[in-house]
Chains A and B, each alone.
Chain A
Amino acid sequence: MNTKVKEIMNIKLETIKPDASVYDAIEKLVDKRMRSLIVLPKNENDVYGVITVRDIVFKVIAKNLDPKKIKIEEIASKPVISIDKETELEHLIRLMEKFNIARVFVHEGKEIIGVVSLLDVLSASLVAKARSK
């Protein structure tokens, strides 16, 4: 399986400002049918972060906190774990296993251009197997 992440990544990405509320993020995630949002850097010295459905459920909902009063930057994970678009799938799988993460962002230079989830990896491996005789 010599597939590269750029061949299977999802290019649909949505961003959110760090000072937006968790409620804004929930609206965006529901409207766009997504599971994570890229958190934009606060300033030039800052880095990209990520907020996932998991973060919202465990850090806000489960603790009975008001999503309208919590800011994204309070619960977002930083820095975002990302890999180069030319990375091979085997390496991506090892990374996911090592960090116990379900999705990894893909970068080209300094720009984040896509995301690959565990389901994308599973689908790609099944399709690759079906394509081999």
Chain B
Amino acid sequence: MFDKIISSGKLEKKVIESIKIHLKTLCSAAECFRQAISSADKESTFCVAQLEREADTIRREIITTIHQGAFLPFIRPNICRFIEIVDEAFDTLEDAAFEFRYVNNELFKIIEPECSRIAKINSEMCEILSLAFEALIDKGDLKEKNLAIRICEKQIDDLKFDIIEKLRKIEIQNFWDGKIISDFVDYLTRLSDLLEDASDYLYIIEISLK
């Protein structure tokens, strides 16, 4: 698929390899977060911030290389937008990890099964997004990956509904406890929306190349 725009260019190959690393870093961050949530180990969430910083460096390199002339101009905005959405996903994951460290343990226990499930699905979605990018490059079945990501997003939407239903029944005594748990759930569930957007962008890139 990318044969049309790469033309064996060194810069293009460099960008593609960097995007692959960027996405693998996202997978690592999501998996690290999943383990922290399922073990309720707040200290181990610091790995997310560390991986986000690494990803920031990779993102800058990618954008710089694109502006040095990688890819034909018509495709550059789409690739840049894809990278930005993945970057937003990193930020959202980092925010979720940050809020998790301050979440009231008693409140978290109530929604722990749903949160663990969401973190697991998020991690799987990151993995599928990485495979989707490889499918775009290697002429694989991108549509199949795109559908799987949409299914996962829908599952998280349903789980979000269950969490909100549970939380609404609880009387919050402390403003910050309420705000933090609400923000935590918001970030945790927003990640899947961004991953779906990123997957849609890959599909748009593929369509635009046909």
State A33–B134 Cα separation when bound (angstroms): 38
Q: Are A127 and B113 touching (Cβ within 8 A)?
A: no
Give complex CA distance A114, B112 in Å: 16
Cα A129 to Cα B127 with chains together (Å) = 12
Contact A130 B144 (CB under 8 A): yes
- Say yes or no: is A133 at the interface (Cβ < 8 Å to chain B): yes
Question: Is A30 positioned at the interface, with any CB of B under 8 Å from its CB?
Answer: no
Give min CB distance, A6 to chain B, whole Å. Answer: 11
A126 at the interface (CB under 8 A from B): yes
Give the A-B pair count, Cβ closer than 8 A.
32
Q: Is B188 an interface residue (CB 8 A)?
A: no
Partner of B131, one of A12, A123, A131: A131
**A residues less than 8 Å from B149 (CB atoms):** 130
The number of chain A residues touching the other chain, given as a range, is 10 to 19
Known: A11-B113, A12-B162. A129 touches B151 (CB 8 A): no
**Within the assembled complex, what's the spacing in Å between the Cα atoms of A11 and B116?**
12
**B148 within 8 Å of A by Cβ?**
yes
For this complex, into which size category does the number of interface residues on chain B fall? 10 to 19
Is B162's CB under 8 angstroms from A127's CB? no
Would you give the 0/1 interface string for B136-153, flagging 1 where the beta carbon is closer than 8 Å to chain A?
A: 000000001101110110
Q: How far is the CA of A129 from the CA of B149 in the complex (A)?
A: 12
A129 to B114, CA, bound (A): 24
Residues of B within 8 A of A126 (CB): 144, 147-148, 151
Is the CB–CB distance between B145 and A130 below 8 Å? yes
- A119-133: CB near B (< 8 Å → 1, else 0) gives 000010011011101
Given A11-B113, A123-B151, A126-B151, is A131 in contact with B144 using a C-beta cutoff of 8 Å? no
Task: Select which of B113, B117, B147, B162 is within 8 A of A130 by beta carbon.
Answer: B147
Could you mark each residue 84-117 of chain B with 1 if its beta carbon is under 8 Å from any beta carbon of chain A, else 0?
Answer: 0000000000000000000000000000011001
Contact check, A131 vs B162: say whether CB atoms are below 8 A apart.
Answer: no
B199 CB to nearest A CB, Å: 10
A29→B162 CA distance, assembly (Å): 14
- The contact of B124 among A12, A33, A129, A131, by CB within 8 Å, is A131
Which B residues, 113 to 132, have Cβ-Cβ distances below 8 Å to chain A?
113-114, 117, 124, 127-128, 131
Q: Mark A1-45, 1 if CB is under 8 A from B, else 0.
A: 000000000011000000000000000000001000000000000
Among A11, A12, A123, A131, the residue within 8 A (CB) of B127 is A131
Indicate if B50 sits at the interface (CB-CB under 8 A): no
CB distance from A14 to the nearest CB of B (A): 11
Top-9 shortest CB links A-B: A130-B148, A127-B148, A123-B151, A130-B145, A130-B128, A130-B144, A126-B148, A12-B162, A11-B113
Name 7 extra pairs, CB < 8 A, besides A11-B114, A33-B161, A131-B131: A11-B113, A11-B117, A126-B148, A127-B148, A129-B148, A130-B128, A133-B134
Binding site for A on B (CB under 8 A): 113-114, 117, 124, 127-128, 131, 134, 144-145, 147-149, 151-152, 155, 161-162
* A-B residue pairs in contact (CB < 8 Å), sample of 9: A33-B161, A123-B155, A127-B152, A129-B148, A130-B128, A130-B145, A131-B127, A131-B148, A133-B134
Interface residues of A (CB under 8 A from B): 11-12, 33, 123, 126-127, 129-131, 133
